[in-house]
Chains A and B, each alone.
Chain A
Protein backbone atom coordinates (compact mmCIF):
# COMPACT_ATOMS: atom_id res chain seq x y z
CA UNK A 1 0.00 0.00 0.00
CA UNK A 2 2.81 2.37 1.00
CA UNK A 3 4.67 1.50 -2.20
CA UNK A 4 1.56 2.25 -4.17
CA UNK A 5 1.12 5.63 -2.46
CA UNK A 6 4.75 6.52 -3.09
CA UNK A 7 4.36 5.63 -6.75
CA UNK A 8 1.24 7.78 -6.99
CA UNK A 9 2.86 10.76 -5.32
CA UNK A 10 5.84 10.46 -7.66
CA UNK A 11 3.58 10.44 -10.69
CA UNK A 12 1.15 13.04 -9.43
CA UNK A 13 3.06 16.25 -9.94
CA UNK A 14 2.29 19.68 -11.31
CA UNK A 15 2.33 18.36 -14.88
CA UNK A 16 -0.37 15.80 -14.11
CA UNK A 17 -3.98 16.81 -14.52
CA UNK A 18 -5.61 13.48 -13.69
CA UNK A 19 -4.11 10.27 -12.43
CA UNK A 20 -6.05 7.03 -12.75
CA UNK A 21 -4.62 4.32 -10.57
CA UNK A 22 -5.73 0.68 -10.34
CA UNK A 23 -9.06 1.78 -11.72
CA UNK A 24 -11.67 -0.93 -12.23
CA UNK A 25 -15.24 -0.44 -13.42
CA UNK A 26 -17.89 -3.17 -13.40
CA UNK A 27 -21.32 -2.96 -15.01
CA UNK A 28 -23.82 -5.44 -13.57
CA UNK A 29 -20.93 -7.57 -12.29
CA UNK A 30 -19.09 -7.61 -15.61
CA UNK A 31 -15.65 -6.01 -15.59
CA UNK A 32 -15.44 -3.33 -18.26
CA UNK A 33 -12.28 -1.52 -17.15
CA UNK A 34 -9.48 -3.42 -15.50
CA UNK A 35 -6.53 -2.00 -13.57
CA UNK A 36 -6.19 1.21 -15.57
CA UNK A 37 -3.15 3.26 -14.69
CA UNK A 38 -2.70 6.46 -16.71
CA UNK A 39 -1.35 9.89 -15.77
CA UNK A 40 -2.99 12.46 -18.05
CA UNK A 41 -0.74 15.47 -18.66
CA UNK A 42 -1.91 19.00 -18.03
CA UNK A 43 -2.56 21.26 -21.05
CA UNK A 44 -2.13 18.42 -23.48
CA UNK A 45 -4.45 16.44 -25.70
CA UNK A 46 -4.55 12.76 -24.84
CA UNK A 47 -6.38 10.39 -27.15
CA UNK A 48 -7.88 7.10 -26.06
CA UNK A 49 -7.86 4.71 -28.98
CA UNK A 50 -9.07 1.16 -29.32
CA UNK A 51 -11.74 -1.05 -30.80
CA UNK A 52 -15.39 -0.50 -30.03
CA UNK A 53 -16.08 -1.89 -26.56
CA UNK A 54 -12.49 -1.47 -25.42
CA UNK A 55 -13.56 0.84 -22.58
CA UNK A 56 -12.76 4.30 -23.96
CA UNK A 57 -16.12 5.85 -23.07
CA UNK A 58 -16.24 4.10 -19.70
CA UNK A 59 -12.80 5.48 -18.83
CA UNK A 60 -13.87 9.00 -19.84
CA UNK A 61 -17.03 8.74 -17.79
CA UNK A 62 -15.10 7.32 -14.84
CA UNK A 63 -13.10 10.53 -14.75
CA UNK A 64 -16.16 12.72 -14.15
CA UNK A 65 -18.12 10.03 -12.34
CA UNK A 66 -20.99 9.92 -14.77
CA UNK A 67 -20.89 6.13 -15.19
CA UNK A 68 -22.81 5.80 -11.97
CA UNK A 69 -25.52 8.15 -13.26
CA UNK A 70 -26.14 6.34 -16.54
CA UNK A 71 -26.02 2.70 -15.42
CA UNK A 72 -25.58 0.52 -12.36
CA UNK A 73 -21.81 0.52 -12.08
CA UNK A 74 -19.27 -0.38 -9.44
CA UNK A 75 -15.95 1.46 -9.46
CA UNK A 76 -12.82 0.66 -7.46
CA UNK A 77 -9.38 2.21 -7.50
CA UNK A 78 -8.57 5.89 -7.47
CA UNK A 79 -8.78 8.87 -9.78
CA UNK A 80 -6.72 11.79 -8.51
CA UNK A 81 -7.65 15.30 -9.57
CA UNK A 82 -6.24 18.42 -7.89
CA UNK A 83 -4.67 16.23 -5.26
CA UNK A 84 -7.77 14.44 -4.10
CA UNK A 85 -9.43 11.17 -4.95
CA UNK A 86 -12.60 11.80 -6.96
CA UNK A 87 -14.14 8.64 -5.57
CA UNK A 88 -13.87 9.79 -1.96
CA UNK A 89 -17.32 9.80 -0.33
CA UNK A 90 -17.25 13.55 0.37
CA UNK A 91 -16.76 14.52 -3.28
CA UNK A 92 -19.11 17.27 -4.44
CA UNK A 93 -20.34 15.85 -7.74
CA UNK A 94 -21.82 19.11 -9.02
CA UNK A 95 -18.53 20.94 -8.50
CA UNK A 96 -16.58 18.01 -9.93
CA UNK A 97 -18.63 17.92 -13.13
CA UNK A 98 -18.28 21.64 -13.52
CA UNK A 99 -14.50 21.26 -13.37
CA UNK A 100 -14.43 18.18 -15.61
CA UNK A 101 -16.67 18.75 -18.60
CA UNK A 102 -17.96 15.96 -20.81
CA UNK A 103 -18.88 16.27 -24.49
CA UNK A 104 -21.11 13.62 -26.04
CA UNK A 105 -20.36 11.98 -29.41
CA UNK A 106 -23.40 13.54 -31.06
CA UNK A 107 -24.44 17.18 -30.64
CA UNK A 108 -26.90 17.50 -27.80
CA UNK A 109 -27.94 21.13 -27.52
CA UNK A 110 -30.97 21.96 -25.40
CA UNK A 111 -33.95 22.82 -27.59
CA UNK A 112 -33.81 26.46 -26.52
CA UNK A 113 -31.94 29.50 -27.82
CA UNK A 114 -28.18 29.69 -28.34
CA UNK A 115 -27.98 32.17 -25.44
CA UNK A 116 -29.99 29.95 -23.09
CA UNK A 117 -27.89 26.93 -24.00
CA UNK A 118 -24.74 28.69 -22.81
CA UNK A 119 -26.22 30.44 -19.78
CA UNK A 120 -28.46 27.66 -18.42
CA UNK A 121 -25.92 25.63 -16.44
CA UNK A 122 -23.85 28.76 -15.73
CA UNK A 123 -26.86 30.19 -13.91
CA UNK A 124 -27.10 27.09 -11.75
CA UNK A 125 -23.42 27.23 -10.85
CA UNK A 126 -23.66 31.02 -10.32
CA UNK A 127 -20.71 31.50 -12.65
CA UNK A 128 -21.17 35.16 -13.40
CA UNK A 129 -23.51 38.05 -12.80
CA UNK A 130 -22.77 39.28 -16.31
CA UNK A 131 -24.22 36.48 -18.37
CA UNK A 132 -24.02 38.44 -21.63
CA UNK A 133 -20.28 38.65 -21.28
CA UNK A 134 -19.99 35.01 -20.27
CA UNK A 135 -21.98 33.95 -23.34
CA UNK A 136 -19.81 36.09 -25.59
CA UNK A 137 -16.56 34.77 -24.10
CA UNK A 138 -17.71 31.16 -24.30
CA UNK A 139 -18.84 31.50 -27.89
CA UNK A 140 -15.55 33.15 -28.79
CA UNK A 141 -13.63 30.29 -27.17
CA UNK A 142 -15.86 27.83 -28.99
CA UNK A 143 -15.12 29.57 -32.27
CA UNK A 144 -18.75 30.45 -32.83
CA UNK A 145 -19.03 34.13 -31.94
CA UNK A 146 -18.55 35.46 -35.46
CA UNK A 147 -21.10 33.02 -36.84
CA UNK A 148 -23.70 33.47 -34.11
CA UNK A 149 -23.31 36.93 -32.60
CA UNK A 150 -26.44 38.11 -34.39
CA UNK A 151 -28.34 34.90 -33.80
CA UNK A 152 -28.14 34.48 -30.05
CA UNK A 153 -31.92 34.22 -29.67
CA UNK A 154 -32.20 31.69 -32.45
CA UNK A 155 -33.15 28.14 -31.40
CA UNK A 156 -30.05 25.97 -31.17
CA UNK A 157 -31.86 23.29 -33.11
CA UNK A 158 -31.69 25.44 -36.24
CA UNK A 159 -27.88 25.36 -36.30
CA UNK A 160 -25.92 22.91 -38.43
CA UNK A 161 -24.73 19.74 -36.65
CA UNK A 162 -21.16 21.04 -36.64
CA UNK A 163 -22.25 24.33 -35.08
CA UNK A 164 -24.37 22.44 -32.58
CA UNK A 165 -21.38 20.38 -31.49
CA UNK A 166 -19.23 23.48 -31.11
CA UNK A 167 -22.09 25.08 -29.17
CA UNK A 168 -22.05 22.09 -26.82
CA UNK A 169 -18.31 22.62 -26.34
CA UNK A 170 -18.89 26.35 -25.72
CA UNK A 171 -21.62 25.46 -23.22
CA UNK A 172 -19.11 23.35 -21.31
CA UNK A 173 -16.47 26.12 -21.54
CA UNK A 174 -18.90 28.57 -19.92
CA UNK A 175 -18.46 26.60 -16.69
CA UNK A 176 -14.69 27.28 -16.75
CA UNK A 177 -13.65 23.64 -16.55
CA UNK A 178 -10.07 22.46 -16.08
CA UNK A 179 -10.46 19.25 -18.03
CA UNK A 180 -12.57 18.56 -21.08
CA UNK A 181 -13.52 14.96 -21.81
CA UNK A 182 -14.66 14.41 -25.39
CA UNK A 183 -16.25 11.19 -26.52
CA UNK A 184 -15.62 10.93 -30.26
CA UNK A 185 -16.79 14.52 -30.70
CA UNK A 186 -16.52 14.57 -34.48
CA UNK A 187 -17.76 11.07 -35.22
CA UNK A 188 -21.27 12.17 -36.22
CA UNK A 189 -20.14 15.14 -38.32
CA UNK A 190 -19.24 15.59 -41.98
CA UNK A 191 -15.59 16.08 -42.93
CA UNK A 192 -15.73 19.89 -42.96
CA UNK A 193 -17.45 20.18 -39.56
CA UNK A 194 -15.18 17.49 -38.13
CA UNK A 195 -12.17 19.50 -39.30
CA UNK A 196 -13.47 22.60 -37.51
CA UNK A 197 -14.02 20.62 -34.30
CA UNK A 198 -10.48 19.21 -34.60
CA UNK A 199 -8.95 22.66 -34.95
CA UNK A 200 -11.03 23.85 -31.98
CA UNK A 201 -9.69 20.97 -29.88
CA UNK A 202 -6.14 21.94 -30.80
CA UNK A 203 -6.83 25.55 -29.74
CA UNK A 204 -8.32 24.46 -26.44
CA UNK A 205 -5.20 22.68 -25.23
CA UNK A 206 -3.51 26.01 -24.48
CA UNK A 207 -5.98 26.59 -21.64
CA UNK A 208 -7.41 23.17 -20.87
CA UNK A 209 -6.46 19.54 -20.50
CA UNK A 210 -8.29 17.61 -23.19
CA UNK A 211 -8.92 13.87 -23.14
CA UNK A 212 -10.54 12.54 -26.30
CA UNK A 213 -11.89 9.11 -27.09
CA UNK A 214 -11.19 8.51 -30.75
CA UNK A 215 -12.36 5.65 -32.90
CA UNK A 216 -10.38 7.13 -35.77
CA UNK A 217 -6.66 6.56 -35.26
CA UNK A 218 -5.94 9.03 -38.07
CA UNK A 219 -7.72 11.75 -36.12
CA UNK A 220 -5.92 10.72 -32.93
CA UNK A 221 -2.57 10.97 -34.68
CA UNK A 222 -3.46 14.43 -36.02
CA UNK A 223 -4.67 16.08 -32.86
CA UNK A 224 -3.16 14.39 -29.83
CA UNK A 225 0.07 14.81 -27.91
CA UNK A 226 -0.32 11.53 -26.05
CA UNK A 227 -2.16 8.34 -26.84
CA UNK A 228 -3.44 5.43 -24.79
CA UNK A 229 -4.35 2.22 -26.55
CA UNK A 230 -7.04 0.25 -24.73
CA UNK A 231 -8.02 -3.33 -25.42
CA UNK A 232 -10.68 -5.33 -23.57
CA UNK A 233 -10.80 -2.73 -20.81
CA UNK A 234 -7.06 -2.66 -20.11
CA UNK A 235 -4.32 -0.22 -21.07
CA UNK A 236 -2.01 -1.91 -23.56
CA UNK A 237 0.24 1.06 -24.20
CA UNK A 238 0.40 4.70 -23.25
CA UNK A 239 2.87 7.30 -24.43
CA UNK A 240 3.78 10.09 -26.77
CA UNK A 241 1.63 9.94 -29.91
CA UNK A 242 4.62 9.95 -32.28
CA UNK A 243 6.34 7.13 -30.40
CA UNK A 244 3.20 5.07 -30.10
CA UNK A 245 2.38 5.34 -33.80
CA UNK A 246 5.92 4.97 -35.14
CA UNK A 247 7.49 2.62 -32.60
CA UNK A 248 4.79 0.71 -30.77
CA UNK A 249 6.27 -1.38 -27.99
CA UNK A 250 3.49 -3.92 -27.73
CA UNK A 251 2.67 -6.20 -30.69
CA UNK A 252 -1.07 -5.76 -29.97
CA UNK A 253 -0.69 -2.01 -30.53
CA UNK A 254 1.15 -2.63 -33.76
CA UNK A 255 -1.55 -5.02 -34.98
CA UNK A 256 -4.33 -2.61 -34.09
CA UNK A 257 -2.61 0.34 -35.77
CA UNK A 258 -1.82 -1.58 -38.94
CA UNK A 259 -5.43 -2.81 -39.10
CA UNK A 260 -6.86 0.65 -38.49
CA UNK A 261 -4.55 2.61 -40.77
CA UNK A 262 -5.22 0.45 -43.82
Chain B
Protein backbone atom coordinates (compact mmCIF):
# COMPACT_ATOMS: atom_id res chain seq x y z
CA UNK B 1 0.00 0.00 0.00
CA UNK B 2 3.04 2.25 -0.33
CA UNK B 3 2.06 5.46 -2.06
CA UNK B 4 -1.66 5.07 -1.31
CA UNK B 5 -1.73 8.20 0.93
CA UNK B 6 -0.31 10.22 -1.97
CA UNK B 7 -3.15 9.12 -4.27
CA UNK B 8 -5.62 9.79 -1.47
CA UNK B 9 -4.28 13.29 -0.79
CA UNK B 10 -4.21 14.25 -4.47
CA UNK B 11 -7.71 12.91 -5.21
CA UNK B 12 -9.22 14.51 -2.12
CA UNK B 13 -7.70 17.81 -3.27
CA UNK B 14 -9.20 17.33 -6.75
CA UNK B 15 -12.64 16.51 -5.34
CA UNK B 16 -12.68 19.33 -2.81
CA UNK B 17 -11.60 21.89 -5.43
CA UNK B 18 -14.08 20.65 -8.04
CA UNK B 19 -17.23 22.50 -9.01
CA UNK B 20 -19.27 19.34 -8.32
CA UNK B 21 -18.13 19.44 -4.70
CA UNK B 22 -19.22 23.04 -4.32
CA UNK B 23 -22.63 22.32 -5.86
CA UNK B 24 -23.16 19.22 -3.71
CA UNK B 25 -22.05 21.06 -0.56
CA UNK B 26 -24.49 23.93 -1.29
CA UNK B 27 -27.40 21.58 -2.07
CA UNK B 28 -26.76 19.47 1.03
CA UNK B 29 -26.34 22.60 3.14
CA UNK B 30 -29.69 23.96 1.96
CA UNK B 31 -31.40 20.58 2.43
CA UNK B 32 -29.89 20.18 5.91
CA UNK B 33 -31.04 23.58 7.09
CA UNK B 34 -34.45 23.03 5.48
CA UNK B 35 -34.80 19.61 7.09
CA UNK B 36 -33.67 20.85 10.50
CA UNK B 37 -36.08 23.79 10.44
CA UNK B 38 -38.97 21.71 9.02
CA UNK B 39 -38.54 18.94 11.56
CA UNK B 40 -38.29 21.47 14.40
CA UNK B 41 -41.53 23.18 13.36
CA UNK B 42 -43.32 19.81 13.02
CA UNK B 43 -42.07 18.60 16.39
CA UNK B 44 -42.99 21.86 18.11
CA UNK B 45 -46.58 21.36 16.93
CA UNK B 46 -46.64 17.71 17.97
CA UNK B 47 -44.92 18.11 21.31
CA UNK B 48 -47.77 19.75 23.17
CA UNK B 49 -46.84 21.29 26.50
CA UNK B 50 -47.54 18.90 29.32
CA UNK B 51 -46.98 15.78 27.18
CA UNK B 52 -45.44 13.18 29.48
CA UNK B 53 -41.82 12.27 28.61
CA UNK B 54 -42.66 8.55 28.88
CA UNK B 55 -45.36 8.97 26.22
CA UNK B 56 -43.21 11.02 23.84
CA UNK B 57 -39.91 9.09 24.27
CA UNK B 58 -40.54 6.03 22.04
CA UNK B 59 -41.83 8.13 19.19
CA UNK B 60 -39.00 10.66 19.44
CA UNK B 61 -36.37 7.91 19.49
CA UNK B 62 -37.84 6.30 16.39
CA UNK B 63 -38.04 9.67 14.73
CA UNK B 64 -34.40 10.41 15.56
CA UNK B 65 -33.55 6.94 14.19
CA UNK B 66 -34.97 7.95 10.83
CA UNK B 67 -33.10 11.28 10.90
CA UNK B 68 -29.70 9.84 11.77
CA UNK B 69 -30.05 7.03 9.21
CA UNK B 70 -31.43 8.94 6.27
CA UNK B 71 -29.22 12.03 6.54
CA UNK B 72 -25.78 10.37 6.16
CA UNK B 73 -27.18 7.78 3.76
CA UNK B 74 -28.51 10.40 1.34
CA UNK B 75 -25.30 12.47 1.56
CA UNK B 76 -22.96 9.50 1.09
CA UNK B 77 -25.08 8.10 -1.71
CA UNK B 78 -25.18 11.44 -3.56
CA UNK B 79 -21.40 11.91 -3.29
CA UNK B 80 -20.72 8.33 -4.25
CA UNK B 81 -22.90 8.46 -7.35
CA UNK B 82 -21.13 11.68 -8.38
CA UNK B 83 -17.50 10.77 -7.74
CA UNK B 84 -17.17 6.98 -7.86
CA UNK B 85 -17.48 6.54 -11.60
CA UNK B 86 -17.35 9.61 -13.81
CA UNK B 87 -13.90 10.93 -12.71
CA UNK B 88 -12.48 7.42 -13.00
CA UNK B 89 -13.99 7.02 -16.46
CA UNK B 90 -12.28 10.27 -17.50
CA UNK B 91 -8.94 9.23 -15.99
CA UNK B 92 -9.12 5.93 -17.82
CA UNK B 93 -10.03 7.54 -21.12
CA UNK B 94 -7.42 10.34 -20.96
CA UNK B 95 -4.52 8.33 -19.59
CA UNK B 96 -3.74 9.44 -15.99
CA UNK B 97 -4.67 5.99 -14.66
CA UNK B 98 -2.23 4.30 -17.04
CA UNK B 99 0.51 6.71 -15.99
CA UNK B 100 -0.20 6.11 -12.29
CA UNK B 101 -0.03 2.36 -12.79
CA UNK B 102 3.31 2.65 -14.60
CA UNK B 103 4.85 3.93 -11.35
CA UNK B 104 5.78 1.66 -8.43
CA UNK B 105 2.21 2.08 -7.09
CA UNK B 106 0.28 -1.17 -6.85
CA UNK B 107 -3.19 -1.52 -8.38
CA UNK B 108 -4.57 -2.01 -4.86
CA UNK B 109 -2.96 1.22 -3.62
CA UNK B 110 -4.67 3.11 -6.47
CA UNK B 111 -8.00 1.41 -5.74
CA UNK B 112 -7.98 2.02 -1.99
CA UNK B 113 -6.60 5.56 -2.39
CA UNK B 114 -9.36 6.50 -4.82
CA UNK B 115 -12.08 4.83 -2.75
CA UNK B 116 -11.00 6.64 0.43
CA UNK B 117 -10.71 9.92 -1.48
CA UNK B 118 -14.39 9.64 -2.44
CA UNK B 119 -15.48 8.41 0.96
CA UNK B 120 -13.75 10.89 3.26
CA UNK B 121 -15.19 14.17 1.91
CA UNK B 122 -18.60 12.50 1.65
CA UNK B 123 -18.31 11.20 5.23
CA UNK B 124 -17.34 14.62 6.57
CA UNK B 125 -20.21 16.37 4.75
CA UNK B 126 -22.61 13.66 5.98
CA UNK B 127 -21.27 13.94 9.53
CA UNK B 128 -21.66 17.72 9.59
CA UNK B 129 -25.18 17.54 8.12
CA UNK B 130 -26.27 14.85 10.58
CA UNK B 131 -24.82 16.65 13.60
CA UNK B 132 -26.52 19.90 12.53
CA UNK B 133 -29.92 18.19 12.22
CA UNK B 134 -29.50 16.37 15.56
CA UNK B 135 -28.47 19.54 17.41
CA UNK B 136 -31.08 21.83 15.85
CA UNK B 137 -33.94 19.38 16.37
CA UNK B 138 -32.91 18.66 19.95
CA UNK B 139 -32.08 22.17 21.13
CA UNK B 140 -34.79 24.01 19.22
CA UNK B 141 -37.58 21.59 20.00
CA UNK B 142 -37.05 18.46 22.07
CA UNK B 143 -34.90 19.74 24.94
CA UNK B 144 -36.99 22.90 25.64
CA UNK B 145 -40.21 20.85 25.66
CA UNK B 146 -39.17 17.63 27.37
CA UNK B 147 -35.87 18.51 29.01
CA UNK B 148 -34.23 15.48 27.38
CA UNK B 149 -31.65 15.13 24.61
CA UNK B 150 -32.70 12.38 22.21
CA UNK B 151 -30.03 10.27 20.55
CA UNK B 152 -29.56 6.63 21.47
CA UNK B 153 -26.02 5.23 21.57
CA UNK B 154 -27.06 2.60 19.01
CA UNK B 155 -28.25 5.35 16.68
CA UNK B 156 -25.03 7.32 17.09
CA UNK B 157 -22.90 4.25 16.40
CA UNK B 158 -25.01 3.37 13.35
CA UNK B 159 -25.02 6.87 11.97
CA UNK B 160 -21.38 7.79 12.57
CA UNK B 161 -19.66 4.42 12.22
CA UNK B 162 -21.50 1.39 10.88
CA UNK B 163 -23.51 3.08 8.13
CA UNK B 164 -20.43 4.97 6.84
CA UNK B 165 -18.51 1.69 6.92
CA UNK B 166 -21.24 0.11 4.84
CA UNK B 167 -21.06 3.01 2.41
CA UNK B 168 -17.26 2.80 2.23
CA UNK B 169 -17.52 -0.88 1.33
CA UNK B 170 -20.06 0.06 -1.34
CA UNK B 171 -17.85 2.87 -2.68
CA UNK B 172 -14.86 0.54 -2.87
CA UNK B 173 -16.95 -1.95 -4.82
CA UNK B 174 -18.11 0.81 -7.16
CA UNK B 175 -14.54 2.03 -7.71
CA UNK B 176 -13.36 -1.57 -8.17
CA UNK B 177 -15.86 -2.21 -10.95
CA UNK B 178 -15.17 1.20 -12.49
CA UNK B 179 -11.48 0.32 -12.63
CA UNK B 180 -11.75 -3.14 -14.17
CA UNK B 181 -14.83 -2.75 -16.36
CA UNK B 182 -16.76 -0.13 -18.21
CA UNK B 183 -17.34 2.57 -15.54
CA UNK B 184 -21.05 2.53 -16.46
CA UNK B 185 -21.18 -0.98 -14.95
CA UNK B 186 -19.57 0.35 -11.76
CA UNK B 187 -22.09 3.17 -11.61
CA UNK B 188 -25.02 0.80 -12.17
CA UNK B 189 -23.84 -1.47 -9.34
CA UNK B 190 -23.39 1.47 -6.94
CA UNK B 191 -26.79 2.97 -7.76
CA UNK B 192 -28.52 -0.43 -7.60
CA UNK B 193 -27.16 -1.29 -4.15
CA UNK B 194 -27.61 2.30 -2.94
CA UNK B 195 -31.29 2.38 -3.95
CA UNK B 196 -31.84 -0.95 -2.17
CA UNK B 197 -30.28 0.51 0.98
CA UNK B 198 -32.49 3.61 0.83
CA UNK B 199 -35.52 1.34 0.35
CA UNK B 200 -34.53 -0.87 3.27
CA UNK B 201 -34.18 2.12 5.61
CA UNK B 202 -37.49 3.52 4.34
CA UNK B 203 -39.31 0.22 4.80
CA UNK B 204 -37.80 -0.39 8.22
CA UNK B 205 -38.72 3.12 9.31
CA UNK B 206 -42.28 2.75 7.98
CA UNK B 207 -43.17 -0.75 9.13
CA UNK B 208 -40.96 -2.12 11.85
CA UNK B 209 -40.21 1.18 13.48
CA UNK B 210 -38.96 -0.30 16.80
CA UNK B 211 -35.90 -1.56 14.89
CA UNK B 212 -34.53 1.94 14.25
CA UNK B 213 -34.11 2.47 17.99
CA UNK B 214 -32.39 -0.85 18.62
CA UNK B 215 -28.88 -2.24 18.61
CA UNK B 216 -30.15 -4.91 16.23
CA UNK B 217 -30.41 -2.29 13.51
CA UNK B 218 -26.87 -1.10 14.22
CA UNK B 219 -25.64 -4.68 13.94
CA UNK B 220 -27.52 -5.19 10.66
CA UNK B 221 -25.59 -2.23 9.29
CA UNK B 222 -22.35 -3.68 10.57
CA UNK B 223 -23.20 -7.05 9.03
CA UNK B 224 -23.95 -5.34 5.72
CA UNK B 225 -20.62 -3.50 5.87
CA UNK B 226 -18.77 -6.73 6.64
CA UNK B 227 -20.57 -8.58 3.85
CA UNK B 228 -19.79 -5.90 1.25
CA UNK B 229 -16.25 -5.49 2.62
CA UNK B 230 -15.54 -9.21 2.38
CA UNK B 231 -16.99 -9.23 -1.14
CA UNK B 232 -14.73 -6.31 -2.13
CA UNK B 233 -11.71 -7.99 -0.52
CA UNK B 234 -12.46 -11.28 -2.28
CA UNK B 235 -12.91 -9.57 -5.65
CA UNK B 236 -9.75 -7.49 -5.14
CA UNK B 237 -7.68 -10.63 -5.65
CA UNK B 238 -8.54 -10.32 -9.32
CA UNK B 239 -7.52 -6.65 -9.46
CA UNK B 240 -4.46 -6.26 -11.65
CA UNK B 241 -2.82 -3.54 -13.68
CA UNK B 242 -3.44 -5.59 -16.82
CA UNK B 243 -7.20 -5.76 -16.17
CA UNK B 244 -7.38 -2.00 -15.61
CA UNK B 245 -5.34 -1.24 -18.73
CA UNK B 246 -7.28 -3.61 -20.96
CA UNK B 247 -10.60 -2.25 -19.70
CA UNK B 248 -9.35 1.27 -20.47
CA UNK B 249 -8.80 0.15 -24.05
CA UNK B 250 -12.35 -1.17 -24.32
CA UNK B 251 -11.55 -4.80 -23.55
CA UNK B 252 -13.68 -5.45 -20.47
CA UNK B 253 -11.93 -7.83 -18.12
Tell me whether A and B are bound partners: no
